[in-house]
Amino acid sequence: MSKKKSLLKEAPLLEVKNLETAFDIDGTYYNAVDNVSFKVKPRQIVGVVGESGCGKSVMSLSIMQLLPKGIGKVKSGEIIFDGISLEKMTEGQINKIRGKDVSMIFQEPMTSLNPVFTIGYQLQEVLFNHTKISKREARLKSIALLKSVGISRPEKIVDEYPHQLSGGMRQRVMIAIAIACQPKLLIADEPTTALDVTVQAQILELLKEIQEVNDMSVILITHDLGVVAEMCDEVIVMYAGKIVERTDVDTLFYNPKHPYTTLLLGAVPKMDEEEERLSSIKGIVPSLTNMPKVGCRFANRCPKAMPECFTTTPMLADVDQGHEVACLLYETSKPREGVK
Amino acid sequence: MLKYAFRRILGMIPMLFLISIIVFTLAKLMPGDSLSGEIDPRNTNPQYIQEMREKLGYNDPLPQQYFRWIGNFVQGDFGKSTRFKIEVSEVLSERLPNTIMLGLTSIIITYILAFFMGTYSGRKPYTFGDNLIGGLNYLGLSIPSFVAGVFAIFLFSFTLGWFPSNGSVDIGTTEGTLEYWLSRFHHVLLPALVLGLLSTASYTQFLRNDIIENSRKDFVRTARAKGTPERKIYNVHILRNSVIPLITFLGFDLVAIISGAIITETIFTYPGLGQLFLQSVGTRDYPVLMTLTMLFSFLTLVGNLIADILYGVVDPRIRLD
C-alpha cells in the first residue's frame, strides 16, 4: 500500500459531508448528528472527543450503516469512502465493504462477541465473508492474527469461547477481527473505556502499532483527552451532535479556541495540582428532544456566552489555517449576509 | 459430562423412593379400593368379602403393604391389573406405541410450525405477518384442549369428514402393511394437532421474543460490522442463541411423548397411556395407576436430566462437571 501513499495523500480516504443522522422518538425524528462534515486522510488518526451523548458513536455507526434498524437513520448528507458513496448502498453492497475496507471495534468487549461460537469461528467468519480461503488456511490465518494482536497461546485460544477470555483479551480478539482483511479505515468506538488502565495502555499501543504496520486510517472515538494526545493527528470536538472545533492535536492542546474545548481540557485532572474536587463543566448535554433550535447549543453552559449566542447559530469555519471553530467569539463563525 | 450424568442418575434414587411413598399414600388415601375387581362379583356374602380382604392384604398395616408393593415393583413385577386381569406391563406395552406415535407426531408438528412462525415473527416484528401469527397464537393459547378437541372433531370429522374421530387404526387393516400405517397416521393427525396447539403457540412466542431480544445484542452489531449477510446473522448468530432457552421444553417434551395426553386421548378415545390413566382412576385400578405415576415421575426426572445435559451441549458457558 505504501506505493500508493503519495497518490492518496491529497485525496481524503473518507469524506463526510453534511451528515444528519436522526432517531425516531415517539414518531418524530430528532437529529443526533446534525450537519457534520469532516475528512480523514490516509494513514491519519482522527480523534473524536466530547461528552457522553454528543453523537460520537452515532456518527461512527452512520458511516458503517450500523444504526439500529427502524430507530435510527441517515437523513441526509454524503459519506464518501475511497471515492464511493456509502450512504445510499443496499445492505448487500455495504456488506462487501464492512469488515473488509472499513471495520470497527466497539466499546464493550464483554458483549461484542457471540457467546456461543468459538473465537476461531468468529474470526474466520470475516475471512470467509471477504476472501476465498480454505478452512485450513482460514484457521492458520486466524491463529496468526491472534498472535499479531499479542495473544499468547493463539492455537489454544482459537478454540475457546469468549467467556473464557478476559476483557482485554476479548478486545484484542475484536481488533484481530477488525484488521483481518487489512481495512483502509478502522473506526474504534471507545475501545478502551471498559478496560482497566493498564490494559487500556496496551490496547492503545497495539492499535497504534497496527495502524503503522497496516498503513490504515483510524477514527478514534474517546472521551479521554490523554488518549487523544497520545494517539491522534487530528481532533474533532463534538457537542450535542455538532462539530464545534476541528484542528490538529498540538493546536488543540496549546491553543484551544472554543470555550467547550477549553473547559474539556480544564476537566482533565493534573498530576501536579492538588485539588479536592475534580473540575467539571456545569450542566448536561441537552437531550435530543430538548435541543435548542437556534443559537449555539452550548450557550446555556458556556461561561463566555453573550446574548447573541442564544439567537444566532454559529457556523463551523476556519479561524486559522486548518483550525475550524464554531463559536460566535470569532468573526468567522458569524453568519454572513445571504447565508443562513 | 458422563460423571455429571452418573451423579444425577444416582441422585434420582432417593427422589424416586420419596415419590413412591407419596404415590402409594395418595393411592391409599383415595376412597374405595379395587376389591370388587379382585373377588368373585357374584358372591356378596360379607364373610367372604372379609376373608378376601384379609387374604389380599388389605387389612395389613400400611407400611407393610407399601414394602410388599415396592419390593415387587423394583423386581419388575408391577402387579396385575384388577380391571383387565392381566399383567400391568402387558397393559402398558399395548398402549405405549399408540402414545408414542401421538406424542411424536404432535411434537414434530409443533416444532416445525413453531420454528417457522417464530423465526418469521422474530425477524419481522410488529409487521402484519407477525401480528397475524401473534393473534393466532394467543387464540391457540386461550382455547383449552377439551374445547379445541371437541370443536376439531365436529368440524373435521363430522362436518368435513377429513379425519376419523376416534380410535387409533381402522378396523380391518392388517398389521404391518402400508395401509395399516397410513391409517394409523390418519387417526393420529387430528389429536396430534389439537395436542400441539398450546405448545406451538407458546414456543412460537418464546422463539419470537428471544430472537427480537438477541437481535439487539452487541454481538449482532459485530457480525454486521464484519459484513455478514443479514440472513446468516439471523439463522446462525441469533438463532443459535435463541434455541438455548427452548431446550428446557425439550426435556419436558420427551416426557410428554410417553406420558400421553389425558384430555386429548380421552376426547378422541385414542387408546394411549393418558386415556388408560384416567380410566384407571375411575375403576380404582391401583396397580396400573401406581405404575403409571411412577413411570411418569421417572420420565420427568429423566427429561430434566436430558434438558440439563443438552444445555451443556448447546451453551458453551455452562459446564457440567
Q: Which domains does chain A have, with CATH numbers?
A: 2-101+181-269+278-333 (3.40.50.300)
pLDDT tier, B170 (very low <50, low <70, confident <90, very high otherwise): confident
What pLDDT, on the 0 to 100 scale, is given for residue B116?
94
pLDDT digits (tens, 9 = 90+) for B235-264: 999 999 998 888 878 877 877 777 768 888
pLDDT digits (tens, 9 = 90+) for B199-229: 899 899 999 999 999 999 999 999 999 999 9
Mean pLDDT of B46-52: 80
Cell of B285: 385400578
3-state secondary structure of A188: strand
Alpha-carbon gap, residue B78 to B86, rounded angstroms: 11
- Of the listed ranges A15-19, B27-31, B116-120, the one predicted with least confidence: B27-31
Q: Taking chain B, what is the end-to-end CA distance rounded to the nearest angstrom?
A: 6
Contact residues on chain B for A66, CB-CB shorter than 8 A: 221, 224-225
Closest residue by Cα to residue A86 from A187, A223, A190, A220: A187
Contact residues on chain A for B244, CB-CB shorter than 8 A: 116
Residue B126's CB: how many other CB atoms inside 10 A?
Answer: 11
What pLDDT, on the 0 to 100 scale, is given for residue B255?
79
Alpha-carbon gap, residue B212 to B238, rounded angstroms: 9
Q: Where are the domains of chain B?
A: 2-74, 92-314
What pLDDT, on the 0 to 100 scale, is given for residue B315?
86
Q: List the single residue in A with minimal CA-CA distance to B240.
A: A116
What pLDDT, on the 0 to 100 scale, is given for residue A239?
92
Alpha-carbon gap, residue B81 to B284, rounded angstroms: 10
- Taking CB atoms and an 8 Å cut-off, how many pairs form between chains A and B? 80
CATH of domain B92-314: 1.10.3720.10
SS3 percent helix, strand, coil of chain B, rounded to 5, is 75, 0, 25
Alpha-carbon gap, residue B8 to B31, rounded angstroms: 36
What pLDDT, on the 0 to 100 scale, is given for residue A178?
94
Chain B residues within 8 Å of chain A (Cβ atoms): 216-219, 221-230, 237, 240-241, 244, 314-317
What pLDDT, on the 0 to 100 scale, is given for residue B258?
77
Residue A84's CB: how many other CB atoms inside 10 A?
Answer: 11
3-state secondary structure of A276: coil
What pLDDT, on the 0 to 100 scale, is given for residue A337?
56
What pLDDT, on the 0 to 100 scale, is given for residue B267?
87
Find residue A85's DSSP bridge partners.
A80
Q: Which residues of chain A have pLDDT under 50?
A: 1-8, 339-340
- How far does A283 lie from chain B, in Å, by closest CA? 30
Check CB contact of A31 with chain B, cutoff 8 Å. Answer: no
| B321 or A90, which is more confident | A90
Measured between CB atoms, which of B219, B227, B228 is closest to A111? B219
Contact residues on chain A for B224, CB-CB shorter than 8 A: 66, 98
CB contact under 8 A, B228 and A177: no
3-state secondary structure of A134: coil
What pLDDT, on the 0 to 100 scale, is given for residue B131?
95
- A24 CB-near residues (< 8 Å, 6+ apart): A70, A71, A72, A73
Check CB contact of A170 with chain B, cutoff 8 Å. Answer: no
- How far does B126 lie from chain A, in Å, by closest CA? 11
CB contact under 8 A, B219 and A66: no
- Per-residue burial over A195-221, b if 16 or more Cβ lie within 10 Å, else e, is beeebbeebbebbeebbeebebbbbbb
Mean pLDDT of B77-101: 85
Residue with cell 466497539: A106
Q: Taking chain A, what is the end-to-end CA distance rounded to the nearest angstrom?
A: 43
pLDDT tier, B4 (very low <50, low <70, confident <90, very high otherwise): confident
Find residue A17's DSSP bridge partners.
A78
What pLDDT, on the 0 to 100 scale, is given for residue A8?
45
